[in-house]
């Protein structure tokens, strides 16, 4: 049987994180060429160490909030001989990244404009700039698809009580950007429809990443499946969206959240 992603060249932003690194591993196994990217740092180094030397893997340093870097990214990839036909807007400022290790998480009244703007710059403006560059360099030249990454906290509010006493919280700028990114999907779906490009949003649920037993218990009660997701369970749906089998889907929001949004 053919590999699910044979013939796909997949460009991913923020590839070194919990989900990004899982997508890279699974996409390579499914026969894709993977063009990974991330900010320079330990996540990028770990990802490179895991896959360097594989013929179907390449890595580019990329800050999605830097307009000059984003403007040149597809030209760089194409100059190196690969033409991405799947693009993932996956990079994001998440709670852990925003605060850094050990820094207390501010409540809403103490949220700074700089943290708010930094989150919007990466999660929303970065996604816009990647999509705009895809429009300039790819859309209309060959068939392509864009997948924007939202969250279960895009169109559903958090149950704030589950974060009481936890070292991390949900934060307002995150939810705002994750709702906004689906607006970008809806806008682009019709705009690109006549030029052979599709665009969808995936909204992952709560992904297990070493959370305490108590947090797992609290959040598990809000999820029909009764538990957090494993990264590979989100990757299962992501690989489908990247595959030719998703070719008739555009403008959709796909919840992969164990039923969190279903009741
Ligand atoms: N893990 C979850 O529970 C969960 C749930 C819902 C949605 N998501 C979304 O899935 C995506 C991946 O999440 P994750 O859990 O792997 O997060 P993560 O924090 O582990 O990884 C995020 C990655 O984005 C990168 N990044 C941050 N700023 C960047 C910038 N300016 N330019 C380029 N890269 C940048 C980071 O270096 C990191 O590698 C994000 O969009 C996140 O919002 C995650």
Confidence (pLDDT) at 98:
64
pLDDT digit string (tens) for 184-225? 999 999 999 999 999 999 999 999 999 999 999 999 999 999
Q: Please name the residues in contact with 24: beta carbons below 8 A apart, sequence gap of 6 or more.
A: 12, 15, 34, 36, 47, 51, 57
Please name each of the domains of the chain with its CATH number: 9-262 (3.40.50.720)
Could you tell me the two tokens for 77?
Answer: 């990839």
pLDDT digit string (tens) for 3-46? 999 999 999 999 999 999 999 999 999 999 999 999 999 999 99
Task: State residue 14 phi and psi, 5-degree precision.
Answer: 55, 45
Confidence (pLDDT) at 194:
98
Please state the atom number of ligand 1 nearest to the C-alpha of residue 63. Answer: 32
Instruction: Please indicate whether residue 177, judged by its CB atom, sits closer than 6 Å to ligand 1.
Output: no
Instruction: Please indicate whether residue 151, judged by its CB atom, sits closer than 6 Å to ligand 1.
Output: yes
For the chain, what percent of residues have pLDDT higher than 90? Answer: 91
For the chain, what percent of residues have pLDDT higher than 70? Answer: 97
Could you tell me the two tokens for 56?
Answer: 């179907």
Instruction: Please indicate whether residue 20, judged by its CB atom, sits closer than 6 Å to ligand 1.
Output: yes
Q: pLDDT band at 105, cuts 50/70/90?
A: confident
Confidence (pLDDT) at 2:
78
**If you average pLDDT over residues 100-122, what whole number do you get?**
85
Query: Please, which residues bridge with residue 229 across strands?
Result: 207
Q: pLDDT band at 1, cuts 50/70/90?
A: low
């Amino acid at each position: 049987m053919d590999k699910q992603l044979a013939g796909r060249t997949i460009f991913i932003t923020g590839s070194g994180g919990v989900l990004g690194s899982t997508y890279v591993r699974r996409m390579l196994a499914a026969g894709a060429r993977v063009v990974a990217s991330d900010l320079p740092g330990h996540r990028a180094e770990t990802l490179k160490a895991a896959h360097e030397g594989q013929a179907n893997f390449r890595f580019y340093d990329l800050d999605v909030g830097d307009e000059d870097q984003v403007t040149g990214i597809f030209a760089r990839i194409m100059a190196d001989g690969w033409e991405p036909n799947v693009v993932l807007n996956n990079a994001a400022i998440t709670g852990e990244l925003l605060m850094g290790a050990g820094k207390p998480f501010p409540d809403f009244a103490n949220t700074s404009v700089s943290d708010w703007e930094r989150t919007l710059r990466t999660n929303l403006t970065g996604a816009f700039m990647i999509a705009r560059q895809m429009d300039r360099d790819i859309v209309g030249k060959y068939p392509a698809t864009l997948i924007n990454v939202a969250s279960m906290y895009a169109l559903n509010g958090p149950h704030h009580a589950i974060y009481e006493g936890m070292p991390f919280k949900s934060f307002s700028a995150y939810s705002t950007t994750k709702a906004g990114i689906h607006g970008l999907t809806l806008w682009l779906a019709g705009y690109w429809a006549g030029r052979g490009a599709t665009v969808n949003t995936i909204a992952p649920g709560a992904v297990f990443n070493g959370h305490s037993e108590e947090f797992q218990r609290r959040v598990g009660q809000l999820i029909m499946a009764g538990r957090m997701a494993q990264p590979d369970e989100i990757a299962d749906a992501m690989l489908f969206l990247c595959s030719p089998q998703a070719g008739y889907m555009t403008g959709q929001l796909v919840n992969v959240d164990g039923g969190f949004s279903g009741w």
